[in-house]
Structure formats: C-alpha cells, structure tokens
Amino acid sequence: MNAEHSVERSVEPYVIPVGRRDRAGGEAPRATLPVREVIRRRIAQDFLHGRTERLTGDTPLVSAGIIDSAGVLHVVEWLEERFGIRVADDDVTPENFDTIDALARLVAVARARG
C-alpha cells in the first residue's frame, strides 16, 4: 500500500449535524461529510464571511493571505478540538496549512499517529 492511498483511506467521512431540530424537538438530521468539506466550511466561516463559492481543495490560504500566522494558530486549535488530534509543532508549516487538501492530509496523518 503506498503512502498516498494510506492517507486517503484514513480521511474517512466525519459526521456533523446539519439542519434544524424537527417540529417535535428531536435531534437534528445528520449528514456525513468528508473531512475536507468540514474544513472547507469552517475556513469559509472563520476567514471568508461564510463565502464558499471559490474555495476549493487547492485554493491557496496562507500564500494568498486568507489565513495569517494568528489564523494558523486558530486553525490548529480548532483542528485539535474538532477532530480529537494533536498537531505536532513540526507540522505547523505553511505547506500544511496552505490548502484545504493539505489540512485534510494533516488530519489524516495526525489520526494515524494516534
């Protein structure tokens, strides 16, 4: 098994609630979203006023100035809390934070490390 396949396999869907409570006050409907989509929505919410139209997996984030150094720290904290991972200091590089795809790979690697 090559490294790329291993990383892709470990980026399993992540379940997040979507929608509103039903009329009887029951649980919100649930949808399964890939890690990339969860990250894309959060980046749009926190750094682009919710605009996701042109935010793709390979949109430059750090190099285009969408996320600055303080934003990287914010994203690290959110990734650790949301996905239950630890982002190692050595992993906090512009390359790992420059695209949504890179962030999803970082989550997969951190999950694999345990």
* Domain boundaries of the chain, sorted by first residue: 35-113
Mean pLDDT, residues 29-40: 84
**Would you state the pLDDT for residue 74?**
97
pTM of the model: 0.74
Tell me the CATH class for 35-113: mainly alpha
Tell me the per-residue pLDDT of 64-110, one tens digit each, with 9 for 90 and over. Answer: 999 999 999 999 999 999 999 999 999 999 999 999 999 999 999 99
**Would you state the pLDDT for residue 32?**
79
Mean pLDDT of the chain: 82
**Which stretches within the chain are classed as H helix?**
3-10, 35-47, 69-83, 94-97, 100-113
How many whole angstroms separate alpha carbon 86 and alpha carbon 106? 10
